[in-house]
């Protein structure tokens, strides 16, 4: 039986670039939190922080044997780049997108959904807590 999960990711920076952090929440199909983390990453742009959150969350999903994953993010740019709808022009983001795509390829199925920030509350809070603690 396939292991299905939902990964809510977020990243942010105070200044662009500025102090940055990411957060993610990995939940099982029934809403049980399998893993959640917020981590400061030093100085980075908002988009780099978004990708770092996605990569960390994908690594967690792979480690936990998830087969099918719905990725939820309030970054329309990240979602559209991961779906292949937007080209990744920035070299740093291209490297991060490639790393994320490689991790995603290790799962049977990954979908990407863009949501409003209000629907990504816990991941957003983890970002802010990590920034406040840095």
Q: Output the CA–CA distances (angstroms, integers) from residue 47 to 81, 90, 101, 134, in the order listed.
A: 11, 10, 16, 19
Summarised one tens digit per residue, pLDDT across range 31-54 is 999 999 999 999 999 999 999 999
Summarised one tens digit per residue, pLDDT across range 91-133 is 999 999 999 999 999 999 999 999 998 889 999 999 999 999 9
Structural domain harbouring 85: 4-133
Q: Please check whether residue 64 is in contact with residue 28, taking contact to mean a CB–CB distance below 8 angstroms.
A: no
Here the CATH number for the domain that contains residue 50 is 3.30.420.10
**Entry pTM:** 0.96
Distance of CA 51 to the CA centre of its chain: 6
pLDDT of amino acid 117: 86
The DSSP letter of residue 107 is: S
- Give the count of domains, the chain: 1
**What are the beta bridge partners of residue 12?**
21
């Amino acid at each position: 039986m396939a292991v299905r999960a939902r990964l809510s990711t977020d990243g942010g920076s105070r200044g662009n670039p500025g102090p940055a952090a990411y957060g993610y929440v990995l939940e099982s199909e029934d809403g049980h939190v399998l893993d959640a983390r917020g981590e400061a990453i030093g100085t980075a742009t908002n988009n780099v922080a978004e990708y770092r959150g996605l990569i960390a969350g994908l690594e967690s999903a792979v480690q936990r044997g998830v087969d099918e994953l719905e990725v939820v993010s309030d970054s329309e740019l990240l979602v559209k780049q991961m779906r292949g709808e937007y080209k990744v022009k920035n070299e740093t983001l291209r490297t991060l997108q490639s790393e994320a795509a490689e991790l995603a390829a290790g799962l049977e199925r990954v979908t990407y959904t863009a949501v409003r920030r209000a629907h990504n509350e816990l991941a957003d809070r983890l970002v802010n807590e990590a920034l406040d603690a840095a």
